[in-house]
Amino acid sequence: MKIGIVGSGLVGATAAYAMVMNGIGRQIVLVDLNKERAQAEADDLYHAVPFASPLEITAGDYEDLAGCRVVIIAAGVGQRPGETRLQLLGRNATVFKQVVPAILNAAPDAILVVATNPVDIMTHLTARYAAQMGVSPDRVLGSGTMLDTARFRALLARHVGVDSRHVHAYVIGEHGDSEVLVWSMVAVGGVPLLEFCNDRGITWNDEIKAGIENRVRNAAYHIINGKGATYYGIGSALARVVDIILHDQRSILTICNPERNVAGVEDVTVAMPHMLGGNGVIGEHNPLSLTDEERSQLHHSASLIKGLITDLIE
Ligand code: ADP
């Protein structure tokens, strides 16, 4: 199976590395405006292959994406310290206008996975440009709040002392400042969080809750201040998305995909729990029983993204 990565900077190259180390796919093609960089990354990654799984990795041009099953789009300009994801919008929108048609001309059947921030808006734009070429929105998705959801689960899991794979919790909405942590639905092994803590004598209070929320919300800022960029988490998330598609796993993830209606906001793209399989996103997002407060937070988040999309398109 052939996978394309357009934009082989830190995120794109790390996604490729995660695929090599996990034996995902059979051939990876890196495309970047900076051809020297793409070639160097492909060579460096290829030297990891003997220590992992057999895979072919090359640098190429858009036409070399022909036959790709999935193409990850991680092209663009990185987030600067102190800059919000939304401030990246203008700088990255221009790049996508040429990148999306170029990919689809070469690989008309590919599923497009967007990682560039602000990911909700970039995914919305990608779906729009793809639709102009007859591609259904099911075949366009963004990494959304996969990472935020992973951070939320990991922190909850650490607090309750349970394998994070048995903690169910979602972060939905914008991948950014207005994201919504769905506290009301947190469950450990199917048991509501408060009940689980009470039964096991685990301390739970507003201070612990606020601490977890704060760490989930500010993780990206904290990492960018410390090392300039985030890429291991997102690179691993992208590799997982590719694996799910290649194996038609029907996994449920908080990815972003064009939505008809999110908490009363129409025609918007924000992260919601979606089932993902071999042909892309399956059906509408899963229904969530949100509290009134969560629904109003989600409405705010979706409205904010919708406003930016509208500004951008007009
Ligand atoms: P990140 O941390 O998000 O990966 P980087 O700056 O490391 O950010 O990587 C972004 C990559 O996108 C760079 O390698 C850059 O050359 C590439 N890029 C920028 N514009 C384009 C474009 N129009 N087509 C392909 N690649 C692009």
249-261 residue pLDDT tens: 999 999 999 999 9
Distance 51 CA to ligand 1 centre (A): 27
**Cβ of residue 127 lying under 6 Å from some atom of ligand 1:** no
Q: Can you tell me which atom of ligand 1 is nearest the CA of 37? A: 14
pLDDT of residue 220: 86
CA terminus-to-terminus distance, the chain: 39
Q: Please state the φ and ψ torsions of residue 128, each to the nearest 5 degrees.
A: -65, -45
**Cβ of residue 78 lying under 6 Å from some atom of ligand 1:** yes
**pLDDT mean for each 10 residues of the chain (314 residues):** 96 98 97 97 97 95 98 86 73 89 98 95 96 97 97 97 97 96 98 98 97 94 90 96 98 97 97 98 94 98 95 74
Distance 75 CA to ligand 1 centre (A): 4
Q: Which residues 6+ apart lie within 8 Å of 250 measured at CB? A: 275, 276, 277, 282
Distance 10 CA to ligand 1 centre (A): 8
pLDDT tens per residue, range 38-49: 999 999 999 999
**Cβ of residue 60 lying under 6 Å from some atom of ligand 1:** no
pLDDT of residue 86: 64
Q: Can you tell me which atom of ligand 1 is nearest the CA of 14? A: 4
pLDDT of residue 274: 98
pLDDT of residue 58: 98
Closest residue to atom 8 of ligand 1, CA basis: 78
- Please choose from 32, 36, 83, 224 the residue to mutate so as to test ligand 1's pocket, defined by most ligand atoms within 8 A of CB: 32
Catalytic residues: 175
Q: How far apart are CA 68 and CA 60, in angstroms?
A: 13
Residue 122 buriedness (CB in 10 A; 0-12 / 13-18 / 19+): buried
Please check whether residue 219 is in contact with residue 72, taking contact to mean a CB–CB distance below 8 angstroms: no
Please check whether residue 283 is in contact with residue 275, taking contact to mean a CB–CB distance below 8 angstroms: yes
Distance 101 CA to ligand 1 centre (A): 17
Count of CB atoms situated within 10 Å of the CB of 307? 12
**Cβ of residue 273 lying under 6 Å from some atom of ligand 1:** no
| Structure tokens, 115 | 């990682």
Distance 236 CA to ligand 1 centre (A): 18
Angle at 169 between CA 202 and CA 119, to 5 degrees: 140
Asked whether the whole model's pTM tops 0.90, one would answer yes
Of residues 58, 52, 1, 44, the one with CA closest to residue 22:
52
Instruction: Determine how β-strand 70-73 pairs with β-strand 2-6.
Output: parallel
pLDDT of residue 301: 98
